[in-house]
Amino acid sequence: MKTKTASQPTTVQAKNISGAEAVIRCLLAEGVDLVYGYPGGAIMPIYDELYKFQDQLHHVLTRHEQGATHMAQGYARTSGKVGVAMATSGPGATNLVTGIADAQIDSTPMVCITGQVASHLLGSDAFQETDIIGISTSVTKWNYQITKVSEIPSILAKAFFIARSGRPGPVLIDITKDAQFDFFDFEYVPCTGIRSYQSDFPIAQDALSQAATLINAAKKPLIVWGQGVILGEAEAAFKTFVEKTGIPAAWTILGLSALETDHPLNMGMVGMHGNYAPNLLTNECDLLIAIGMRFDDRVTGSLDTYAKQAKIIHLEIDPAEVNKNVMVDVAVLGNCKDSLEQLLPHVQPLELTAWKARFHELNAIEEEKVIQKDLYPTKEGLTMGETLRVINEHSGGDAIIVTDVGQHQMVACRYAKFNQSKSNVTSGGLGTMGFALPAAIGAKMGAPKRQVIAIIGDGGYQMTIQELGTIFQQRLDVKIVVLNNEFLGMVRQWQQLFFDKRYASTEMINPDFIAIAKAYGIAAKCVDQREELSPAIATMLNTPGPYFLEVRVEKEDNVFPMIPSGASVSDIRLE
Amino acid sequence: MEKKLYTISIYTENNVGLVNRISAIFLKRHINIRSLTTSPSEIPEVFRFVIVVKMTLEGIQKIVKQIEKQVDVIKAFYHTDEETIYVESALYKITSTALFEERQIQNIIKESQAKMVTVSPEFFVIEKTGFREETEKLYNDLKPYGLLQFVRSGRISVTKAKMGISDILNTFNATKQDEKKS
């Protein structure tokens, strides 16, 4: 069984220890050295053990339990390991739900541990009792309530195995207070398989050869890849596949950074605010090779007109994603690293000069109509696009970029330059505003040697702004850029385009962000002039420790290209 | 696409909360469950769900994959009525005076091949197992005489084709043994 942790889980034994201590020993056996959480009544025995084990297991006190989940997600996304979040029962547990739902839809490996009232009180509406198992069922890959101390090792072993294997996802384990207090003889045996759960698939050779036949005969093939390439650690195999065949490749928002953005065959983003060429050519290609992606509606637009002319190959690890939204001609089930490696010897270099010229032709149109104006604006106000351009100039594409949700996210994903994988952390499927600030904290802790820049809108920033306290307390080197247009920009854009400019509750009267950052001991600056932008970003990146930069951008800019909701990818608008 | 009745058979581990997890899959997609029955299966420690829904073929294929995706689900199948042998059970409670005063009731019971479960001075209970049309016919026949209570179970069904659950579990156990040896 392949696992994605740096260190393999180990078998551990200990005589007569408490359930709470057992939880900590399970985490250590899984190679966990970092947990995010918030204490409270029903999880106090575990926190007491965290105190005793603080040399081996670092607990990050967040300012809200939602922050703990997003931090665990950010950590998982940049480290490739399982993120761990902890909370008490009742409101502590319910505050985790948004992050769990986000991890579920974005396939992020995470284990959440919640305290629960003592088992004899279950169902009595005890203080801070809530049915977190019931509440979290539809947003977890698996969940389980432990009421007996003896269950702790086997259930936690299963939790980690499930979270990281197959299509990764969040697992919630609820532990009653009596199970934390009780004593037992502890033995931890890592989980290597569950009889009712298939996490890995041998690659079907007939599907593979059908795929190879289609690929070798294609005249106008297009690859669309997603996060499966990153989660499956398939980046090298993927790049070899792209380069050997010479097929142009485009990414979904979560696939971003798996192949460097400057790669000549990287044709940009598909979907609602993606690039002109890959969207339009989705409906011109003769073969669509979907790798580790799930045909989300933001990617496909109207399904009735999506790639109808093309044969479709789908490399996918989750059987439930095959033929869910788009019917495919060949499905290759399995980890896409395995599929790609086994496919490689069977595919040949293709002659695609004319087809690639189509991309360059359309790229030139987008460049002229959209990109130049975004990146090198001639109008007075600053744009989000030029801020990203300047960040690229200073970071050289080596930074991890963490984004929230909305206009700034689309602009950042369109323009940020990436040289290496696991560098783009964003809330894709759920679109969780408030994700970026805590996720950036986790991202930094998951990749401590790398520069982490959070790019956030003024709306989303204020949803989890209290996590500045966590940055302050943990002394974390996170750079925060708020692109402030004093609007909930994406909603405002829709109101302008589709609701006759009725700006219902999208204008924001914002606080003094600089004063807030400074109150948390974070160096801060605000810029609104073009000539200040580059020096300010240089100062931010060169200042040791956290830094907050507010960029006042044009208030009513829109993000283009755009495929209106429910329209065809062919109906992509440039203005 | 035409909607028809499908019987979903699910083999699962015996875990608290699994009913919730499975019903949530239907809830999320706004699909009404016609009936749901759980019971032990032919394999020790393995449970079986039988769920009846009216859906399109495309819909049922997708939802069965979503069910099978659940960690504690060993395997899920869907079948049409033609591919299964299925029955439902119904209980009918009637005042005993009706039984003695209305001769027709005795004929109805006899014709329906229903079973008398209990008779007391106040009431009697009969049980009928069969297709929905049969339990419904008996309901309609008895209704004029005053039903004190009526209840019908969900569908239980076995398939004409083999399910192969033991094979899946044996394969898993065999790989486990191999892992231990290596």
Residue A173 shares a structural domain with residue A271: no
pLDDT, average across residues A529-533 = 97
Chain A residues near residue B20 by CB distance under 8 angstroms: 133-134, 137
pLDDT at B1: 82
Domain boundaries, position B96: 87-152
Residue B76 shares a structural domain with residue B18: yes
Residue A136 shares a structural domain with residue A283: no
Over residues A228-260, the pLDDT tens digits come to 999 999 999 999 999 999 999 999 999 999 999
Chain B residues near residue A197 by CB distance under 8 angstroms: 71-72
Q: Model ipTM?
A: 0.94
Domain boundaries, position A165: 12-188
Residue B58 shares a structural domain with residue B114: no
**In CATH, what number is assigned to the domain containing residue A125?**
3.40.50.970
Of the candidates A429, A425, A374, A383, the one whose C-alpha atom is nearest the C-alpha of residue A404 is: A425
**In CATH, what number is assigned to the domain containing residue B75?**
3.30.70.260
Residue A526 shares a structural domain with residue A412: yes
Over residues A365-406, the pLDDT tens digits come to 999 999 999 999 999 999 999 999 999 999 999 999 999 999
pLDDT at A496: 97
Task: Provide the pLDDT confidence category of residue A308 given band limits of 50, 70 and 90.
Answer: very high
Whether the per-residue pLDDT at A7 is higher than 80: the answer is no
Q: Based on the structure, what is the number of domains in chain B?
A: 2
Q: Is the peptide bond before A561 cis (omega within 30 degrees of 0)?
A: yes
Is residue A559 in a domain? Answer: no
Task: Provide the pLDDT confidence category of residue B80 given band limits of 50, 70 and 90.
Answer: very high
Question: Which of these is catalytic: A21, A30, A49, A65?
Answer: A65
Over residues A401-423, the pLDDT tens digits come to 999 999 999 999 999 999 999 99
Domain boundary among A133, A163, A188: A188
Residue B25 shares a structural domain with residue B54: yes
Of the candidates B34, B99, B96, B90, the one whose C-alpha atom is nearest the C-alpha of residue B60 is: B34
Residue A401 shares a structural domain with residue A507: yes
Residue B25 shares a structural domain with residue B63: yes
Chain B contact for A16, CB < 8 A? no
Is residue B177 in a domain? Answer: no
Residue A72 shares a structural domain with residue A130: yes
Q: Model pTM? A: 0.96
Whether the per-residue pLDDT at A4 is higher than 60: the answer is no
- Per DSSP bridges, beta strands B123-130 and B115-119 are antiparallel
Residue B39 shares a structural domain with residue B81: yes
Separation between Cα atoms, residue B118 and residue B141, nearest integer Å? 19
Residue B120 shares a structural domain with residue B97: yes
Q: Residue A509: what are its φ and ψ, rounded to 5°? A: -100, 110
pLDDT at A3: 42
Task: Provide the pLDDT confidence category of residue A226 given band limits of 50, 70 and 90.
Answer: very high
Q: Based on the structure, what is the number of domains in chain A?
A: 3
Whether the per-residue pLDDT at A2 is higher than 50: the answer is no
Residue B75 shares a structural domain with residue B105: no
Residue B96 shares a structural domain with residue B146: yes
Whether the per-residue pLDDT at B179 is higher than 80: the answer is no
Of A133, A162, A320, the CB nearest to B65: A320
Is residue A1 in a domain? Answer: no
Q: Measured on CA atoms in the order A372, A373, A378, A383, is the torsion positive or negative?
A: negative
What single string gives the DSSP state of each residue in A138-153? GG-SEEEEE-SGGGHH
Of the candidates A106, A70, A89, A82, the one whose C-alpha atom is nearest the C-alpha of residue A158 is: A82
Q: Taking chain B, what is the end-to-end CA distance rounded to the nearest angstrom?
A: 51
Residue B14 shares a structural domain with residue B64: yes
Residue A221 shares a structural domain with residue A105: no
Task: Provide the pLDDT confidence category of residue B171 given band limits of 50, 70 and 90.
Answer: confident
Chain B residues near residue A195 by CB distance under 8 angstroms: 74, 168-169, 172-173
- Check if A13 is active-site: no
- Check if A490 is active-site: yes
pLDDT at B182: 59
